[in-house]
């Protein structure tokens, strides 16, 4: 008795194509890394939790953004000072401090979630102060209107209260920054005197021009409730 099956020609061709299909799908799957993965030197357990929690990935994105915004605004402050726009320089300094507060707030929540904050600092492109203000307005508007609202919605869906808080603090401050930068951009010549002070809340990074507004500053563990920049 013949122990081998005889496979009709047509079926053999189909089987071969199916096998090739499996091979090619497998090879695609192995060459494309998962999009949710955050490049890091963290442990496999931390990487697993990153892929499980979109909010952790969002916090890493926000942490990276705030880290770079801090560096960029310091460079813009130096340029504004060189060009004689002393008040604009103060505004950039105040916003840089606010972004630093956001960066550290986000880092705290990332650590609470068992991961390590990851950022990649890039050298900012410094142009004229007017152009730098335009860049700053675009960045702040995107964070205020798109990035933080989306991240907050996701954190709420995950029931992560600490993430909701740090992301909401940042969104509030970015709205103020966008407004202040627009004021400077629209009337730049009046931002030369260096007489304008800014008040940065150490808990939320919110940024005001009147000291009386610091009463709105949420309670913090810092010895100073707000910092004055002028």
Residue with Cβ nearer Fe ion (47 or 109)? 109
Q: Interface with Fe ion includes 172 (CB under 5 A)?
A: no
Q: Interface with Fe ion includes 174 (CB under 5 A)?
A: yes
Q: Minimum distance from CB of 170 to Fe ion (Å)?
A: 5
Q: Interface with Fe ion includes 201 (CB under 5 A)?
A: no
Structure tokens at 40: 């890091």
Q: Minimum distance from CB of 106 to Fe ion (Å)?
A: 9
Strands of 226-229's sheet in order across: 207-208, 198-201, 226-229
- Sorted by sequence, the CB contacts under 8 Å of residue 154 that are 6+ apart come out as 54, 55, 58
Q: Interface with Fe ion includes 177 (CB under 5 A)?
A: yes
Residue with Cβ nearer Fe ion (105 or 154)? 105
Q: Minimum distance from CB of 33 to Fe ion (Å)?
A: 29
Q: Which stretch binds Fe ion (CB under 5 A): 115-123, 173-181, 195-203, 209-217?
A: 173-181
Ramachandran angles phi, psi of 89, nearest 5°: -60, -40
Residue with Cβ nearer Fe ion (47 or 76)? 76
Residue with Cβ nearer Fe ion (42 or 71)? 71
Place of tokens 């910092």: 227
Residue with Cβ nearer Fe ion (47 or 87)? 87
Q: Secondary structure of 29-93 in the HEC alphabet?
A: HHHCCCCCCCCCCCCHHHHHHHHHCHHHHHHHHHHHHHHHHHHHHHHHHHHHHHCCCHHHHHHHH
Alpha carbon distance 129, 188 (integer Å): 9
Please give the residues from 81 up to 120 whose contact with Fe ion meets the rule CB under 5 A. Answer: 99, 102
User: Of 62, 113, 101, which Cα lies nearest the Cα of 200?
Assistant: 101
Alpha carbon distance 191, 115 (integer Å): 42
Q: Which stretch binds Fe ion (CB under 5 A): 21-29, 83-91, 167-175, 194-202?
A: 167-175
Interface residue list for Fe ion (CB under 5 A): 66, 99, 102, 140, 170, 174, 177
């Amino acid at each position: 008795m013949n122990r081998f099956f005889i496979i009709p020609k047509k079926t053999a061709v189909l089987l071969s194509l199916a096998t090739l299909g499996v091979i090619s799908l497998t090879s695609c799957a192995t060459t494309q890394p998962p999009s949710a993965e955050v490049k890091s030197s963290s442990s496999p357990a931390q990487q697993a939790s990153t892929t499980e929690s979109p909010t952790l990935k969002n916090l890493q994105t926000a942490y990276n953004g705030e880290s770079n915004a801090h560096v960029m605004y310091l460079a813009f402050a130096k340029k504004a000072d060189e060009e004689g726009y002393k008040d604009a320089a103060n505004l950039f300094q105040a916003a840089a401090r606010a972004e630093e507060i956001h960066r550290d707030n986000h880092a705290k929540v990332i650590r609470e979630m068992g991961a390590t904050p990851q950022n990649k600092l890039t050298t900012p492109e410094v142009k004229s102060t007017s152009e730098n203000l335009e860049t700053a307005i675009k960045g702040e508007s995107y964070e205020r209107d798109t990035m933080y609202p989306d991240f907050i919605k996701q954190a709420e869906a995950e029931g992560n209260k600490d993430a909701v808080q740090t992301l909401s603090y940042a969104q509030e401050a970015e709205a103020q920054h966008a407004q202040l930068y627009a004021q400077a951009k629209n009337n730049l010549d009046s931002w030369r005197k260096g007489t304008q002070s800014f008040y940065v809340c150490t808990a939320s990074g919110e940024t005001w021009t009147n000291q009386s507004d610091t009463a709105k500053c949420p309670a913090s563990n810092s010895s100073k409730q707000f910092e004055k920049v002028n």
